[in-house]
Amino acid sequence: MKKTTSVFYWGLGIVLAFLIWGSIPETVLPNANVGNVTTIIQESIINNFGWFYLITATLLLGFAFFLMFSKFGKITLGQPGDKPEYSYLTWFAMLFSAGMGIGLVFWGASEPLNHFNNPPSIVESARTGEAGTTALSYSFFHWGLHPWAIYAILGLAIAYFTFRRKSKGGVVSSILEPIFGNRIYGPLGKVIDIIAVFATVFGVATSLGLGAIQIAGGISYIFDGVEATFQTELIIIIAVTILFIGSALSGLDRGIKILSNFNVIFAVLLMVAVLILGPTGFILDSMVTSLGQYVQHLPEWSLRLTPYNGDNSWIGSWTLFYWAWWIAWAPFVATFIARVSKGRTIKEFVSGVLLVPTIFGALWFSVFGASGIQMEYFQNIDLFSEIQELGSEVGLFAMLSHLPGGFILSLLALLLIATFFITSADSATFVLGMQTTNGDLNPSKSIKLIWGLVQSAVAAILLWVGGTDGLNALQTASIIAALPFAVILILVVISLILAFKRDARKNDLNKELQLREKQK
């Protein structure tokens, strides 16, 4: 294996140690099993540092908008003359598929229905028109500008330092060189990169497990007699593992590129079909109304906590949880976005990463979320009871079953989940390969194979040991890594500003020297 580093061995060691800990039954470690310990730590972080997550996400969003309209927006993420490697459509498809595609499918109907039935404290009563509008608005909020700003800033920093400055290795630690100098290439940098690997492996392994659960749940919901057992989930994980490893080994320009384009096509087909077959007028009216509320309350919700009533449970369970989750996912998504964005200008990069997925996400939640809410509000179809009984993974299929052609739509949804599933895992093996080989832009097949097998093994073993509880423990562990990484993200902003200023001074000096040469 070429270019393996200590980050590879430390990262792999920590993952295996956590896996062994997570495999120990609760009866053996009743008070120190992985689920209990990680839950206690996570609750403490959410309760005591929720304000810090809100400030960090809002700071990154503000900085993203600043870069879009600043003089730095004209800078190319590469050397003079570098052109983008991928078309706009392929670029958008790849960054979206690696980012939140599978999450949108999982939560597209379930999250708005959750908020409609259990709204935040700013809504007086559940299951009302006000609750419906706010349910969609908060879904836009949780999946819109803030998470993509987190990805955009870190992705921009990685791309700028890798392609523009030619820094040592396209890894997270190298971004902080303007602050720490050469010390960042020592133990400090290794710790930062290990945190990034930790968050990436556990975050993606959780998504693999949840993806297997949703596919199994969907098959069970659609086909009578098929149960969503561990054996079914294991078969799905094995099948998907073979597919995504095969895709990963085929290279970036074949596997991920082709699958990402298919993802967008399937997603648009499903969304347009539901828009036409569902309550079209209600969906469009709801989208416009909720989008207006989202824009109106964006500054307020960005910094909203409830210190006076002493109950931050709703915000903690949704907003703060999401913010921590997006931060934990940032090393993975941002590294992949950076890798496929060489040749873009900063303005082009930030605008594309920030606005296009946000708009698509708003359309997605409007179509699927508003359809579900309309069924409950006007048709008295109790979808939420099915979600409570069978899990959030069946929310999409429960809603689709009440539309004309629901069976066909459900099959298309299953296919979409599978392709998003494969693409996310495929992208993750590529990113982990980069992170653990000192930023190698084309990591070896053996490295990608190892990380692909590790991710799937982690998901499968924790499903076997604890089902969704085991995956929740893994997800919680990943979110714990978000706290130190939030500090790193703030340092990334400072480092970018320093790098821009230093590079601007160098350019001014070069122009002055060139002018003097001409005068001679």
Q: What is the DSSP string of 249-309?
A: HH-IIIIIHHHHHHHHHHHHHHHHHHHHHS-HHHHHHHHHHHHHHHHHHHHHHHT---TTT
* C-alpha–C-alpha distance, residues 469 and 489, integer Å: 30
**Is residue 517 over pLDDT 80?**
no
Q: What is the DSSP string of 210-253?
A: HHHHHHHHHHHHHSTT----HHHHHHHHHHHHHHHHHHHHH-II
Distance of CA 99 to the CA centre of its chain: 4
pTM: 0.92
Q: Are 75 and 346 in contact (CB under 8 A)?
A: yes
pLDDT band at 269 (very low <50, low <70, confident <90, very high): very high
pLDDT at 441: 78
Q: Are 203 and 332 in contact (CB under 8 A)?
A: yes
Name the packing angle between helices 257-277 and 88-99 (round to 10°): 80
* C-alpha–C-alpha distance, residues 392 and 408, integer Å: 21
Higher pLDDT: 345 or 167? It is: 345
Enter the tokens of residue 276.
């036409």
Q: Are 133 and 48 in contact (CB under 8 A)?
A: no
pLDDT band at 1 (very low <50, low <70, confident <90, very high): very low
Among residues 143, 172, 120, which one has the least CA distance to residue 354?
143
Identity at 148, one-letter amino acid code: W
CA distances from 333 to 60, 106, 375, 415 (A): 16, 18, 35, 22
Strand partners, 492: none
pLDDT in tens, 160-219: 999 988 876 568 899 999 999 989 989 999 999 998 888 888 777 777 887 888 899 999
pLDDT at 469: 66
Residue in this structure with the two tokens 């076997």, named with its chain if needed: 464
Among residues 356, 331, 504, which one has the least CA distance to residue 434?
331
Cα angle for residues 110, 136, 45 (degrees, 5° grid): 70
Q: What would the mean pLDDT of 120-138 be, rounded to a whole number?
A: 96
pLDDT in tens, 476-491: 777 788 899 999 999 9
**Is residue 466 over pLDDT 70?**
no
Higher pLDDT: 367 or 35? It is: 367
In this predicted structure, which of 45-59, 204-218, 357-371, 384-398 has the lowest mean pLDDT?
204-218
Q: Are 330 and 150 in contact (CB under 8 A)?
A: yes
In this predicted structure, which of 3-12, 276-285, 316-325, 501-510 has the lowest mean pLDDT?
501-510
> Taking the domain 6-306+348-508, which CATH number applies?
1.20.1740
* C-alpha–C-alpha distance, residues 510 and 348, integer Å: 26
**Is residue 27 over pLDDT 90?**
no
* C-alpha–C-alpha distance, residues 232 and 239, integer Å: 11
Residue in this structure with the two tokens 């706290």, named with its chain if needed: 483
Residue 371: which H helix or E strand, with range? helix 346-379
**Is residue 4 over pLDDT 70?**
no
Strand partners, 68: none
pLDDT at 96: 73
Q: Are 274 and 368 in contact (CB under 8 A)?
A: yes
516: Cβ–Cβ under 8 A, 6 or more apart, which residues?
none
Cα angle for residues 381, 384, 390 (degrees, 5° grid): 115
pLDDT at 64: 97
pLDDT in tens, 68-107: 999 899 899 998 788 998 888 888 888 777 667 788 998 9
Higher pLDDT: 462 or 190? It is: 190
- Sign of the torsion formed by the C-alpha atoms of 509, 510, 516 and 520: positive
54: Cβ–Cβ under 8 A, 6 or more apart, which residues?
302, 303, 304, 305, 319, 320, 323
* C-alpha–C-alpha distance, residues 504 and 506, integer Å: 5
Residue 81 sits at φ, ψ, to 5 deg, of: 95, -15
- Sign of the torsion formed by the C-alpha atoms of 10, 11, 14 and 15: negative
Among residues 105, 109, 132, 103, which one has the least CA distance to residue 395?
109
Kindly report the average pLDDT of the chain as a whole number.
88
User: What are the counts of helices (DSSP H) followed by strands (DSSP E) for the chain?
Assistant: 21, 0
pLDDT at 404: 97
Higher pLDDT: 450 or 204? It is: 450
Enter the tokens of residue 484.
């130190």
